[in-house]
Chains A and B, each alone.
Chain A
Amino acid sequence: MLSRTADNLYWIARYMERADTVARLLEVGSRISLLPSAQGFRSEWDSLLQATGMAESFAKKYGDPVQRNIESFLFFDRDNPSSVASVITRARENGRIVRTALTSQVWDALNTAFQELKALERLPRSELELSRLTDWVTRHAAMVRGAIDATLLRDDGFNFLNLGYYLERGDSTARLIDVKYYVLLPRIDFVGSGLDNYQWSTLLRAMGAARAFHWAYGGDATAAKIAHFLILNTRSPRSLATCSAGVVNHLDRVAKEYGRETEAQVLAHALHAGIEGTTVEAIFDEGLHEYLSRYIAETAALARTIHASYFSGETR
C-alpha cells in the first residue's frame, strides 16, 4: 500500500477518535461546572483546556475561559486544529484523498458527518444545546467506526486505521484522567470526599463507562478502582492496557503480512509490557499525573516511530 495512503488512513482514525474525545471533554467540563465549587478553585474549564494542551491558543484568542467561548473553541472554531469541526473536516478530506482504500459505507459515514456538520454550522447557536452537539459527535464517530468494522477488508489498511484509533484513544484516556487530576490539584484534602467521588463518576459517565464500571467492580467508585479500570483493566474498552494491546496486535498483524519487523513493534511491545507489569499502587506512588504524562510522551514517541517505519516510504 502507498505510504501516503496508509498515513491518511491512520489519520482518519485519529481525527475521528479525537472528535469523540473533544465531545467527551466538553461533557466532563459541563458536568463538573454544574457542581458548586469551593473558593479558591481554579476554573474547571481552564483545567480542561490545560489537559488538552489547548489552553494557550484559547487564551490568545478568547481571553478568560468562559463556558460559551470554550464550547465555540472546542466545537466550531476552525482556527483550533483540534476542534470537532476541524478534525471532522480533515477526516473527511483524508477520506476523499484515499477513497479507493475505503468502502462506500465508510466514505458515506465520513461524508455524512461532514455534510451534517455544515448544516449545524448554519444554525443559530442559541438553538444548539451542548448535549445535542456532543451526542451528535459520538453518534457519527460510532457510525464511521462501525462502517469500518463491518465492511472493510482486513488488510494492512484496516490495521493502519486501527493503529490510529488505539493510539489516539490511549492518548485521550490518559488526558481525560488527567483533567480529573488538574481539577483536584489545588486541594489535596478533597481526595476521598464526596466531591472527589462525584468527579470520578462524572469522568466515567463521560467515557460512557459508568455502568460498565459498576458491573466490573461493584460498590463505591474509589480513585484506586477507577484508575485500575481506566488504566490497567484489559476488559475496559478505553483503558490504556486495552489500547496498547490493540496497538501491539495491529502492528504485529502488519509485521506478519509484510514478513518484516520494524522498530515500531519493539517500542509498542515495550510500552505494553510496562503497563502489564505495573499496579495501581505503583502508579499512585509515581504520581498519577507523572505516570500519565510519561505515557502520553511514550505514545507520541511510538507514533513518530510508526511514521518512520511505514509512512515515510524510506524503509527498505
Chain B
Amino acid sequence: MYQGTSVRPPYARLEDWVAAMPQELRHLKQAEAEALFRRIGITFAVYGEGGDPDRLIPFDMFPRVFAAREWAKLEKGIKQRARALNAFLVDIYGRGEIIRAGRVPSRLIYQNEAYEKAVAGIVPAKGVYAHIVGVDIVRTGPEEFFVLEDNCRTPSGVSYMLESREIMMRMFPGLFRENRIEPVDGYSEKLRRTLESVAPKQCPGDPTVVILTPGHFNSAYYEHSLLADLMGVELVEGQDLFVEGAHVWMRTTEGPRRVDVIYRRLDDAYIDPLCFRRDSMLGIPGLMDVYRAGGVSICSAPGAGVADDKAVYCHVPEMIRFYLGEEPILQNVPTWQCGKADDLRYVLDQLPDLVVKEVHGSGGYGMLVGPKASREEVERFRAKIVEDPGNYIAQPTLALSSVPTFVEEGVAPRHVDLRPYCLVGETIELVPGGLTRVALTEGSLVVNSSQGGGVKDTWVLAE
C-alpha cells in the first residue's frame, strides 16, 4: 500500500476509512462478517486434519486494491498464458510440435504422471482443455508480477471471491459508493456461457450443463453448490449419472435426461472407473467412451493436469513464444529443477535461502520455506531431495508485496498472493477480481488456507 512513506493512489481513500473506524466498531464488524460467513455456510474442511468440518477461513476486511492500469496489464498477461497453455495441451495430445522442435524435452511430457495416454489424439470442442485457469500471482514491486503456478484442472476458491464481495458490500456500502469498484458478480454467467460454448458439436438445441461434485464431504462442496445455484444447473454426484448408448444421462424424477457438458470438480483419476482408478466410487463407468466419441464435453478435459505440473511450468514462457509468437507479459519465478545435476548442486548449496516444492504437490503441503525453517527442518528436507531429486523444484524467496491487514494491534502489513480465474471457451474472459490470500502470521509467506492463511476482497478500480 505504501510507496516510500506516501500511500499509493489506489489505497488513498481507504486510509480515511481506517482512520474513521474505532477499534470497537472494527471488532463488531469482524464478528458480523464471521457470522455472515457461517450463516451462508461457507466453511472449509482441511484435508487430512480431521477436526471441525465447519471451520471458517479467516476473513480480513481490509481489501486489496488494483488500479485499472495495473489490472489491464495483469489481464493481458493472464489471458496470454491461458491461450498458450491450451495450445500446448492440444499440441502434446496431438502432433507434439513443441517437442519435435526441441523446445520442451519429450521425457518431461510423455513420462509425466499427469499425461493421460487415454486422451491422446482427442481435440476437445473449440480446442480447449483447460476451461478455468487459475493463475497464482505474486507481486514483488510496483510493476513486477511473477506467476507462481498455473492451475489448469479445477482451481477452487472462486466462491470466496464472490462471497467476500457480497459481505463487503453489505457491511460497508459507503466504501462502494466512494470508490468505483468493478463488479465480480458476472462470473457465474460468464462461466455458464463458457461451458455452454464447448458443448459437443452433435448437441441439439440448448446444451444441458451439470457440475459433478465428489459429494458433500468434499472441502469445496459449498463452492460447487454455490456455482450450480448461480448458474442454474444441476449439481450431480457420480451416482446421479449413467452411460447408455452414445450419451451420458442423469437420473431425474421425470426419468433420464441427457447431459452435454460436465463441469467436473473431480480429479481425472476418479471420473471413470473403467478407464482410470477401478476403485473409484465417485465416477461414471463408461464416461470416457462417450467422451472419446464426442457425446459429452468434460471441463476441464481429462489430461489438462499435465500443463500445471510444476516442472512443466518452467516452460510456459517458451510455450508463449512458440505458439503465440509473443513475449511473455508475466514472468515466471526463476526455478531450479532438482532433476538437473547443475540445478541440484545449486539448490543443495543455497537451501536455507530457497523455497522448495514437490513437483506434484499442492495446497502448501510438503514444501520448505528455507529462511523460515529451522536448521533441522532444512536438513530433513535436504535428505528428501537427495533421495528423489526429480520430485522437487526450488525457487528464490521473493520479496512478496504486503497489504495492510487488520491484526490485533490495529493495521499491519501482511504478505498476499492473488488467484484470478480465467475462463476459456469460445472466448477468453477474466472477471476483474480474484481470490487474494493473505498470510496472517507476521512475516509468513505461506498463504494457503490449509496453513492458516486468510482471504480478502480484491478490488479493481474503474478508470
Contact surface of A with B, Cβ cutoff 8 Å: 1-6, 93, 96-97, 99-100, 104, 107-108, 111, 156, 160, 254, 258, 260, 310-316
Contacts and interface: CB of A to CB of B under 8 A. Distances in A.
Contacts, number: 59
B255 interface: yes
A113 to B, nearest CB: 13
Given A96-B41, A107-B41, A310 B253 contact: yes
* Best-surrounded residue of A100, A310, A311, A316 (most CB of chain B within 10 A): A100
Contacts of B39: 108, 111
Interface stretch (B59-67, B125-133, B235-243): B235-243
Contacts of B236: 2, 4
A285 B221 CA distance: 55
Nearest to A7: B253
* Best-surrounded residue of B216, B229, B253 (most CB of chain A within 10 A): B253
Contacts of B216: 93, 96-97
A93 B41 CA distance: 11
B227 to A, nearest CB: 9
B253 A258 contact: yes
Contact of A111 (B41, B221, B234, B254): B41
Interface in B217-247: 221-222, 225-226, 228-229, 234-237, 239-240
B41 A99 contact: yes
Nearest to B254: A258
Contact of B234 (A2, A311, A312): A2
B452 to A, nearest CB: 24
A260 B234 CA distance: 22
Given A111-B39, A313-B256, A2 B228 contact: no
Nearest to B230: A100
A316 B255 contact: yes
A310 B226 CA distance: 25
B229 A99 contact: yes
Nearest to B213: A97
Contacts of A111: 39, 41
Contact of A260 (B222, B237, B254): B254
Classify the secondary structure of A's interface with B. Answer: helix
B403 interface: no
16 contacts: A2-B236, A3-B240, A3-B253, A4-B240, A93-B216, A96-B216, A97-B216, A99-B222, A99-B229, A100-B235, A107-B41, A111-B39, A258-B253, A311-B253, A312-B251, A316-B255
B369 interface: no
Nearest to A257: B254
Nearest to B232: A100
A314 B244 CA distance: 13
B250 interface: yes
A2 B240 contact: yes
Nearest to A315: B255
B252 interface: yes
A1 B252 contact: yes
Contact of A2 (B41, B221, B226, B252): B252
Given A156-B253, A316-B256, 12 more contacts: A2-B236, A2-B251, A3-B251, A4-B236, A96-B41, A97-B216, A100-B229, A111-B41, A254-B253, A310-B253, A313-B256, A314-B251
A310 B228 CA distance: 22
Nearest to A112: B39
A104 B230 CA distance: 13
Contacts of A311: 253
Contact of A313 (B222, B225, B235, B251): B251
Contacts of B240: 2-4, 313
Nearest to B239: A4
A312 B253 CA distance: 8
Contacts of B239: 4
Nearest to B257: A2
Nearest to A8: B216
Contacts of A258: 253-254
Nearest to A309: B253
A88 to B, nearest CB: 15
Contact of A4 (B41, B226, B228, B251): B251
B41 A1 contact: no
Interface in B30-68: 39-41
Nearest to A311: B253
Contacts of A96: 41, 216, 221
Contacts of B237: 4
Closest 8 pairs between A and B when the two form their complex, measured CB to CB = A313-B251, A100-B229, A3-B251, A99-B225, A310-B253, A97-B216, A316-B255, A6-B253
Interface in B281-301: none
A6 B240 CA distance: 12
B242 to A, nearest CB: 8
Contacts of B250: 2, 313
Contacts of A93: 216
* Best-surrounded residue of A3, A5, A254 (most CB of chain B within 10 A): A3
A41 to B, nearest CB: 46
Contacts of B229: 99-100
Nearest to B215: A97
Interface in B251-265: 251-256
B228 A100 contact: yes
A2 B240 CA distance: 7
A3 B252 CA distance: 4
A215 B405 CA distance: 64
A194 B127 CA distance: 83
B422 to A, nearest CB: 25
Contacts of B255: 313, 315-316
A260 to B, nearest CB: 7
Nearest to A160: B253
B284 to A, nearest CB: 13
Contacts of A108: 39
B112 to A, nearest CB: 36
